[in-house]
Structure 1
Amino acid sequence: MASMRLFQLGLRRAAVPGVRIQSARSLVQRRLATSQADAAEILAKQRIQRPVSPHLSIYKPQITWYASSLTRVTGIILSGSLYLFGFAYLAAPYTGWHLETASMVATVAAWPAAVKVGLKAFFAFPFFFHSLNGVRHLSWDLGLGFKNAQVIRTGWSVVGLTIMTALYYTFAG
């Protein structure tokens, strides 16, 4: 690596002889720390000179931020629920739980209507948002809809369609 850098510097000097180019020796960073305290002090001085990225609070929130975050959260909700039920179903014979279809239907039938609607809404909104935003991402994989206006329009379309389909599923079925 060092020999390649020296070769490049030599080529630059030969190409433009009147321009002063840094020597390879000045490109090497030297550390003069003799102890841990000296090293910590040098590091603290270097940190002061580093540029700082602006915090997220100065940026205008965008639909893509929210959609990306919500897609991850809804995926965790849906897959986590599936895994919990799967483990419970596997453990049911050993714990005495009755997770057969007939007993689960009878249990849910005994619930109040508000609990049924709430549970349906709890799963409908994540399911439809994750599914519709997944279709949006699949269209991006095909190279469609990458312009800013299209991204914003499809993002809000996913939100609107999620609300409509989740409410329909929650209250009509």
Structure 2
Amino acid sequence: MLSHKALGLSTALRQAAFAPRTLRNNALLRNTIARRSVQTKTIPAGPAADAILNQQRIKRPSSPHFTIYQPQLTWIGSIANRVTGVGLSVLLYGFSIAYLVAPGTFDSTHVIEVVRDLPEAVKYAGKFILAAPFSFHAINGLRHLAWDTGHFLTVKGAYVTGYLVLGATAVSSVALTLIK
């Protein structure tokens, strides 16, 4: 008997029970009283309609952009994960297509010869440039797998794992760069 109170329907039930029967049963009368009359004007499609629509869009308030918010580890990590994923995909597909188009230029022996002749600083910089996004994306993928299993979903857990990802990325990027 108390279920209507638990659902918050007691006011609605009272209004329905005590409303005059003429308003409940007469849809025309109910809609006339409940609605305000607003006059609209139909405009044929064309430049005039586009101009009116553009003026209305200019007057609309815009929602806050992310630049007004303080940068947070969670959304910076999310953006970085997407950027590294796209960057690694572009490299993979770019090299694959280049190999298909010119297999003589992009075969392993030719690439090894080109890299062998580079200065040591350029080799280490190139290795780090490739290792850092790979490490971040791989380790952050493990973080996402942990989230998929329901772990570390609190704000504290997200920040702890975010800092762990950054630390592990730094260590593994340096380790991958120093491998001969």
CA offsets 1:10-57 (integer angstroms, 9 cap, x no match): x88633528x99x54527976324466478558846874x55423323
> What residue is the counterpart of 1:156 in the other structure?
163
**Two-structure CA RMSD over aligned residues (Å):** 3.3
Q: Distance in 2 between matches of 1:28 and 1:72?
A: 50
Unaligned runs of 5+ in 2: 1-12, 25-29
> After TM superposition, which residue ranges in structure 1, 4 or more long, deviate above 6 angstroms?
none
Q: Which residue of 133, 149, 154 corresponds with 1:126?
A: 133
In structure 1, the partner of 2:113 is 106
Q: Does the alignment pair 1:72 with 2:82?
A: yes
Deviation at 1:107, TM superposition (A): 2.1
TM-score (ref. length: structure 2): 0.72
**Closer/same/farther in 2, CA of residues 53 and 103 from structure 1, 3 Å limit:** closer
1:41/1:110 CA distance change after superposition, 3 Å: closer
Residues 1:32 and 2:32 aligned together:
no
For 2:39 and 2:58, the matched residues in 1 are separated by 16
Whose radius of gyration is greater, 1 or 2?
2
Over the matched positions of the two proteins, sequence identity in percent amounts to 36
Matches within 5 A, 1:74-93: 74-93=84-103
Q: Deviations over 1:56-91 (max 9, x none)?
A: 233221111111111111011111000011011111
**Counterpart Cα distance in 1 of 2:57 and 2:37:** 16
Q: Does 1:54 align with 2:61?
A: no
Alpha-carbon separation, structure 1, partners of 2:107 and 2:54: 63
**Aligned equivalents of 2:177 and 2:18: distance in 1?**
74
Alpha-carbon offset, residue 157 of structure 1: 1.1
* TM-score with structure 1 setting the length: 0.74
Structure 1: state its 5+ residue gaps: 1-10
Matches of 2:117 and 2:56 in 1, distance apart?
68
Local SS of the residue matching 1:131: helix
**1: distance between equivalents of 2:40 and 2:115?**
70
Does the C-alpha gap of structure 1 residues 34 and 113 become closer, same or farther in structure 2, counting only changes over 3 Å?
closer
Aligned residue pairs total 158
